Amino acid sequence: MPDRPFEGEASWPDARGRRVVFLLDAATALERRILESWIRRHLPAAPDAAAIADTVAIPPSRGRKRGTGGLDALEVAVSQGDDPLLAPLRVVWLPPRRPDGTRVVRLRDVLLRGDPFDPSAGRQRLILARDRERCRIVHGEPAPLSELRERWRGGGQAEAVETTSLQEFISRQAQLALERGERRLRGARYKVPRLVREEILARPSFRGGLARIARKLGRSEADVAREASRDLREIAAAHNPITIDLATQLYRFLYTRGYDAELRYDHARLEQVAALSQRSPVVFLPTHRSNLDHPSLHCMLWENGLPPNHTAGGINMNFFPIGPLVRRAGVFFIRRSFKDDEIYKLVLHHYIDYLIEKRFSLEWYIEGGRSRSGKLLPPKFGMLAYVVDAYRRGKSEDVFLIPVSIAYDQIQDVGDYVAEQRGAAKQQESFSWFVGLVRRLRRYGEIHIRFGEPISLAKALGAPNPNAEPNPDEDNLAIQKLAFETCVRINAVTPISATSLVTLALLGVGDQALTLEEVRVSLMRVLDYVERRKLPTMGELDLRTDAGVMRALDELVRSNVIVCYAEGPEAVYKIREDEHLAAAYYRNSVIHFFVTPAIAELALLAAAAGGVVDRLAAFFDAALRLRDLLKFEFFFPDRERFLADLREEISFHAPDWEERIDEGPAAIHALVRRFRPLSAHRVARPFLESYRVVAESLLRWGTEKPVDKGELLSRALALGKQWLLQQRIRGAESVSRSYFETALRLADNRKLLGAGAGDLDERRRKLVAELSGAIRRIDAIDALAAARRSGIET
C-alpha cells in the first residue's frame, strides 16, 4: 500500500471498554490517509469494532496550515455524554539514514530536498515509495475526557490553565503528548518545548499580572497584553529539530577551525549531570572566556545525545543571520537593561517559571560578559534570582546549579581584550564582526570542559513554598552566596595549562629575558607545588623537559605574546613589548590557586616588622587586611574558612610555623624562604600596583567635588603610563582598565569617592600608605626570588 508507513512505533490504546477518539495531527491529506489507514489495520477483532473508534482532526503542528483549523468536530466528539479515551496520533518524518547510521541533517540536504522533518506532500509520496522507513506513526499518551476536563477546570496539576474552551485545551494537551511521543522516537537530543507562547499567555497568573500592570500604568489590558506578547516573542527560544542539527554543524565548524575536534571532558561527570537532569532542572553556569564557549558546550551535549540548553544571550548577539539561527537552536535573548520595564520583567519571570516547571536545562554565563583579564569576574545575580524565585514558589522540587569551567590552551580574542584594557572601545557585534572572527581563527590548541560539584537549591535553601509571592530579589543574601559558591567551585576545577604556567614564570621576572634552561628551572618549583597540592591540570603538563618547555614557548612565540632572541650563543625568551596584558590574561586564568600563598608570604613579612609584640596576631591581622584589599578581585571563603586555609597553606611549607613565628624577624624570614615557590611578586604585585595608581589619582582629585568615575579612570590610565615610564611600577600589566575599575569598587566600598571636608583626604592617604607598605613587602619577596634564581639563595 503506497500510504503505509514503517510499522512499530504506535500501538492500539488500552481503552478498557471506552469509546476511542483518535486526535489526528495531520499536516497534509496524505498524512491523514496514513493515520486513518493505520487505525483501520489495527482495529480490535470484534464485530462492532468500528463503532468504538472515531477520528477527529486537530490543528496541525507542522506545514503551511500549522495551528489553523476549527475545533467543531472535536466539540461534537466530546459532547456525547460518555467518557471516551482521547488518543493523539501523528505522522513523523525522519531524515535519511547516513552510512554511519545517524540521521543528522546537513545543509546540502535542506537546500536540495527541503526540510526532511516536514516534507511537502509531493516529497512525502516519494519517501513512502522509496524509503518507507522514514515515515513513522507516533502516539501521545491517551487520557479519558473526564481527566482532561478536570485539569481544564484547574484540578491542581502544574499544567492546569484556563483556555477559551475545553476543545482548545484538549488540542493543546494532545500536541504536548505527541511531542513527548516523538521525543521517544527521535531521542533526547531533540527535547524541545512546544506551544511555549500559547501556554504562557494563557496562564491565569500571567494574565492577572498583566491586569495589575495595566491598572498601575493606566493602560488597557489589551494594550498591555499585546506588548507582553511582543516581549515574549523577542525573548523566547524557538527550537526546531532541523536547526539544532544545522547550528551544531556551524558550531563544530567554528571551534574546529581554532581547536582540536575532540573536546576534553570527564564523560562520567557528564553522565552524572545528565542523570540529575532526568529528575530536576539543571542550570549550567559556565565561565565566559571566548565566543566559542557556548558552541563547544552545545557540541559536547549534542555528541552525547543530550538536548540543547536554553541559553540566555545578550540582545547584542541577536543580529541577522546568526540571531535567528541560534534562537532556533536554544538561545533566548535578553535586553541588557530592563529594570523599569514592568511588562518585560513579568514576561521573563513567567518564561523562566515555565522552563523550570517543565524541567528544561538552562545555561548562562555567571559572570555576565566575557572576562577581559583572564580571571573569573564577579557574578551577576539577575538570572539566578529568577531561577531561585521559581524554585522557592514550588515550580520544581529541586534545581541543580552546575558550575562549569571552559578552558583553552590559548584564546583568539586576547588581542581585543588587551586593547580594551588600555581604553579602546569594545567592537560592536554584527555579521561583519562575525565574519572577521571566523577569518582570524587559527590553531590554538585544545578545549577543556570541567564540571564543579553541583549545588542543590533544596539543600541550600530548604523546601519550597508554593504559596510564596514572586520576588526575584537580586539583593537577597542567599542568592549572592549561591553565586559566589558557584564561582568558588568553578575556580576549584579550572585546569592549569602549560601556557598559564609559562606566563606565570615569565611575568614573575619583569622584563628580564630567560634562557630555555632558566625557564625550565623556574617552572620546576611551580610544578612541584601543583603536583603536591593535586591541582587540576590539562592532562599531563610536559614542562619538566626542555622539549616540553620549548613547545609551550614556541606556541607563545607564534601567538606574538613572547619574543625569542636567538642571535647570541643561547636563545632567550621574554614577554614581547606591549604584550604583558596578553601574558597576564593566561596567568590570571589560574592565579586563584596562588593567592593564598601570596597573602601568607606578605602577612608573614608584616609580622616580622619592628615593634610588633604579638606576631601571630599581627600575621592574621595583616592577612585579613590583604583579603579586604583584594576582596573584589578574588573569591575568598568566609573569614573562618579563609584563616583555616591560610594555616593549612603555611603548614604545607613549614609545619612548625606557629611555634617559630614568635621567635622574631629572623625566624619569620626563614619561614618565608621555605615557601616553594614564592608567589607574591607573581600574583599580588600587578593588582596592588594598579590600586596604588588609582589611590594616588583619588588623592590628586581633591575633596571639593564627587569623583567622576570615567574621568578618574582616564586620569589613572595616564598616571599609570607615566609611572611605568619612570619605572615607579614594575610591570606594564599594572596599567589595566579592568584592574583600575576593581580598584574603584574598593574605593567606593570604603566611601572614598564622595566630596566634602572631614577625614576624606586622610582616609585616602591611609589607603595609599597601606598599598605602598604591601608593595614594599612584595619588593622584598621579589628580591628573594631573584636571589633564588641567581643561586645566591637556595
For the chain, how many residues are written?
794
What tens digit of pLDDT does each residue of 216-250 get? 999 999 999 999 999 999 999 988 888 999 999 99
What tens digit of pLDDT does each residue of 101-118 get? 888 888 888 888 888 989
Q: Helix count (H) and strand count (E) of the chain? A: 33, 16
Sign for the pseudo-dihedral over CA of 531, 537, 542, 545: negative
How far apart are alpha carbons 510 and 493 in whole angstroms? Answer: 29
What tens digit of pLDDT does each residue of 530-544 get? 999 999 999 999 999
Whether the per-residue pLDDT at 159 is higher than 60: the answer is: no
How far apart are alpha carbons 91 and 178 in whole angstroms? Answer: 10
Res 64: pLDDT: 67
Our CA angle for 394, 395, 401, nearest 5°, is 100
What tens digit of pLDDT does each residue of 113-137 get? 888 989 999 999 999 999 999 999 9
Of 382, 349, 332, 388, give the one whose Cα is nearest residue 203. 349
Q: Are 144 and 94 in contact (CB under 8 A)?
A: no
Q: Which is it for strands 310-314 and 331-334: parallel, antiparallel or unpaired? A: parallel
| Half-sphere exposure in the Cβ direction for 17 (13 Å, CA) | 1
Does 343 or 155 have the greater pLDDT score?
A: 343
Q: And the C-alpha cell for 598?
A: 601570596
Res 188: pLDDT: 82
- Position of cell 471506552? 18
Of 308, 304, 276, 314, give the one whose Cα is nearest residue 295. 308
Task: Of 273-287, 387-401, 467-481, 596-610, give the lowest mean pLDDT range.
Answer: 467-481
Res 161: pLDDT: 42
Helix (H, G, I), strand (E, B) or coil at 406: strand
- Position of cell 483549523? 69
The beta-carbon contacts of 603-608 under 8 Å, at least 24 apart in sequence, are 603/646, 604/650, 604/661, 604/668, 604/671, 604/672, 605/668, 605/669, 605/672, 605/777, 605/780, 605/781, 606/773, 606/777, 607/661, 607/668, 608/664, 608/665, 608/668, 608/669
Helical axes 737-749 vs 414-421, angle rounded to 10°: 50
Res 9: pLDDT: 55
Report the run of H or E that residue 451 belongs to, with start and end: strand 447-451
Whether the per-residue pLDDT at 730 is higher than 60: the answer is: yes
The band of 13, judged by pLDDT with boundaries at 50, 70 and 90, is confident
The band of 158, judged by pLDDT with boundaries at 50, 70 and 90, is very low
Q: And the C-alpha cell for 266?
A: 570527564
Does 621 or 51 have the greater pLDDT score?
A: 621
Does 5 or 475 have the greater pLDDT score?
A: 475
Q: How far is CA 414 from the centre of its chain?
A: 19
Where b means 16+ CB within 10 Å and e means fewer, 419-457 reads ebbbeeeeeebeeeebeebeeebeebbbbbbbbbebbeb
Average pLDDT over residues 411-428: 82
In the chain the first and final C-alpha atoms are separated, in Å, by 88
Q: Which is it for strands 455-456 and 400-408: parallel, antiparallel or unpaired? A: antiparallel
What mean pLDDT value characterizes the chain?
A: 91
Q: And the C-alpha cell for 352?
A: 523562566
C-alpha distances (whole Å) from 326 to each of 367, 522, 575, 628 are 21, 46, 39, 42
Whether the per-residue pLDDT at 51 is higher than 70: the answer is: no
What tens digit of pLDDT does each residue of 342-386 get? 999 999 999 999 999 999 999 999 998 888 889 999 999 999 999
Whether the per-residue pLDDT at 682 is higher than 90: the answer is: yes
How far apart are alpha carbons 690 and 720 in whole angstroms? Answer: 8
How far apart are alpha carbons 784 and 670 in whole angstroms? Answer: 11
The band of 792, judged by pLDDT with boundaries at 50, 70 and 90, is low
The band of 642, judged by pLDDT with boundaries at 50, 70 and 90, is very high
Q: How far is CA 534 from the centre of its chain?
A: 26
C-alpha distances (whole Å) from 5 to each of 43, 89, 184, 726, 739 are 16, 13, 18, 81, 65
Cβ neighbours of residue 324 closer than 8 Å, sequence gap 6 or more: none
Q: Are 237 and 308 in contact (CB under 8 A)?
A: no
